[in-house]
Structure 1
Amino acid sequence: MNDRAASETVGFVLVTATVGAVYATGLEGLHDAQQFEQVNNAERAFDVLADNVADVQREGTPSRATELRLGGATLGYGDPVTIRVQVNDTVSTKNATYIMNARPLVYSGVEDSELVYVGGAVFRSDGGASTMRREPRYVFDDERAVVPFLVTYPSGNERTLSGDSTALVVAYRQSAGLDGQFRTATASDARMNVTVESPRSTAWKRYFEEEGLTAIDGDAADGSVTYQLVTDRVIIPETVVEFELKR
């Protein structure tokens, strides 16, 4: 084989290898883009879910259904999340404690992403780092604190759905009322500590700090954070909602 023929052969091999690498990289990039868009679509569905549950929670609607395309993901329930509100009168010995336990709704299985709905908030995790994408409808100011308890739990047949089909999440209103209302004397304030025990405690930490609360235990490493607010009164509405997953 002469030098020219050898050069052409090497050139052909290099071109083929380059085209193959570009093709493989392109397919991988396309796959990643498709999965990223799938999670984005699921996040939009979770935002609609949050609106629908809010209708059940605040408007007294008996039930609401939300469609969600699974696309190979899994839809089920996570471990319970606990929110505890402790209130003390700054002058007297008057105090009260209110506790909520809720089962989160969890969408997972697409790469390392996860979507979670709990307590009126929507969280997204990518690579283990969680962010609160939709805030709960809490109110924190000098005159009042309103912390609505939204107790969610699975229906009797606790299902987990997966595959490429469309899932239907039905939220049923079970009960609603006032879990508690804490008022202080005219000359004193209510010191409220709110504690959240959750795998997404870091996202809760950021939320409370953005709302201007003071850290009592801001180390989220143990899965729990506690923040404080001094206000005039504390109101704790409670709504109980049952989730049913259908195809």
Structure 2
Amino acid sequence: MPEPTDSRGVSEVLGYVLVFSLVVSTVAVVSVSGLATLDDVKRSEQLDNGERAFDILADNVADVYRRGAPSRGTEVSVGEATLYTGEPTTVNVTVDGAHVLNRTSTPIVYRNERDQRLVYNMGAVFRTNPDSGILVREPSHVVRNERLLLNVVVLHASNQTSVGGSTALVRTLNDGSAVRYSDTGGAASNVSIRIESERASLWEDYFDRRGFDCSSSPPSPTEMRCEYPVSGSVERTYVVSHDVRVDIER
């Protein structure tokens, strides 16, 4: 007579296999999704650190052109991103139709592998994605009831520079300032500013919020034009340019 089969051993083996398969599957899923999440967190933290460094950079440049410091150095941890000098920005200012300033400024750009960028140019800091962007630090223009002051910070790069995979040192040196227009008698009636830049729409948003009329801006993603009717409300109008030389070193 055949001996009865012990089904308990088979059940234990089958249960072990099922539990082991479940554990392996769970670990695999968590590992894949978890690594992706950790990578997102890492890149976001790097971009946030870059933004803090650019805020310090903006303060240091202000020390150079506003407080007369001969030079300043700012360390930026680049990591897997790239720090470089970007495409030039052209700025033109006219007062009552007369050109008082026409300069070209070279931005400093931090760009990661996802094409997220931090940009410092003309006293402002921008944070952009491939399809959007925001102004995270405003330039030092003054627009008040009785005073209009355009502080145009013009950056000059010694050469086209690109640094990646390390810590970069951004040196900024004072190349002098000049008053391009000064009126303390309330004679000016209109100030117009035109900017050609990859971030023209963000510049336009900024000037629009400050009370400029930007309705005459051309329908172009790389050009903006805004006007400020100073007649009758502004007693003092100034346009000042500040030249700052930029060197990026490893």
Same fold, TM-score > 0.5, yes or no: yes
**1:86 aligns to what SS in structure 2?**
strand
**2:190 aligns to what SS in structure 1?**
strand
Q: Which amino acid aligns with 1:17?
A: S
**Paired position in structure 2 for 1:168:** 169
**1:38 aligns to what SS in structure 2?**
helix
**Paired position in structure 2 for 1:59:** 67
How far the C-alpha of 1:20 sits from its partner, in A, is: 0.6
Among the aligned pairs, what percent are the same residue?
33
Q: In terms of mean alpha carbon deviation, does 230-239 or 171-180 score higher?
A: 230-239
TM-score with structure 2 length normalisation? Answer: 0.85
- Is the Cα contact below 8 Å between 2:188 and 2:237 reproduced in 1? no
**1:207 aligns to what SS in structure 2?**
helix
Q: Which amino acid aligns with 1:29?
A: T
Change (3 A) 1:183 1:220: farther
How far the C-alpha of 1:87 sits from its partner, in A, is: 1.7
Q: What is the CA–CA distance in structure 2 between the aligned matches of 1:56 and 1:95, rounded to whole Å?
A: 29
What pairs up with 1:28-177 in 2 under 5 angstroms?
28-88=36-96, 95-155=98-158, 157-163=159-165, 165-177=166-178
How far the C-alpha of 1:154 sits from its partner, in A, is: 1.1
How far the C-alpha of 1:12 sits from its partner, in A, is: 4.0
**Paired position in structure 2 for 1:234:** 237
Tell me, which stretches of 5 or more residues in structure 1 are unaligned?
A: 89-93
**1:178 aligns to what SS in structure 2?**
strand
**Paired position in structure 2 for 1:180:** 181
- Is the Cα contact below 8 Å between 2:100 and 2:181 reproduced in 1? no
Q: Deviations over 1:123-174 (max 9, x none)?
A: 011233111110000112343321112111111x4321111x2111100111
Change (3 A) 1:24 1:219: farther
How far the C-alpha of 1:101 sits from its partner, in A, is: 1.0
TM-score with structure 1 length normalisation? Answer: 0.86
How far the C-alpha of 1:7 sits from its partner, in A, is: 7.1
Q: What is the CA–CA distance in structure 1 between the aligned matches of 2:227 and 2:218, rounded to whole Å?
A: 14
- Is the Cα contact below 8 Å between 2:72 and 2:172 reproduced in 1? yes
Tell me, which stretches of 5 or more residues in structure 2 are unaligned?
A: 1-6
**Paired position in structure 1 for 2:4:** none
Q: What is the CA–CA distance in structure 2 between the aligned matches of 1:22 and 1:219, rounded to whole Å?
A: 51
Is 1:18 the equivalent of 2:26? Answer: yes
Q: Which amino acid aligns with 2:147?
A: R
**1:67 aligns to what SS in structure 2?**
strand
Q: Which amino acid aligns with 1:245?
A: I
**1:217 aligns to what SS in structure 2?**
coil
**1:222 aligns to what SS in structure 2?**
coil
How far the C-alpha of 1:234 sits from its partner, in A, is: 2.8
Change (3 A) 1:238 1:217: same
Aligned length: 237
Q: What is the CA–CA distance in structure 1 between the aligned matches of 2:111 and 2:221, rounded to whole Å?
A: 23
Change (3 A) 1:14 1:218: farther
**Paired position in structure 1 for 2:197:** 198
Q: What is the CA–CA distance in structure 1 between the aligned matches of 2:93 and 2:215, rounded to whole Å?
A: 13
How far the C-alpha of 1:218 sits from its partner, in A, is: 4.4
Comparing both structures, which one devotes a greater share of its residues to strand?
1
What CA RMSD, in Å, does the superposition of the two structures yield over aligned residues?
Answer: 2.3
Q: What is the CA–CA distance in structure 1 between the aligned matches of 2:47 and 2:219, rounded to whole Å?
A: 26
Q: What is the CA–CA distance in structure 2 between the aligned matches of 1:78 and 1:87, rounded to whole Å?
A: 29
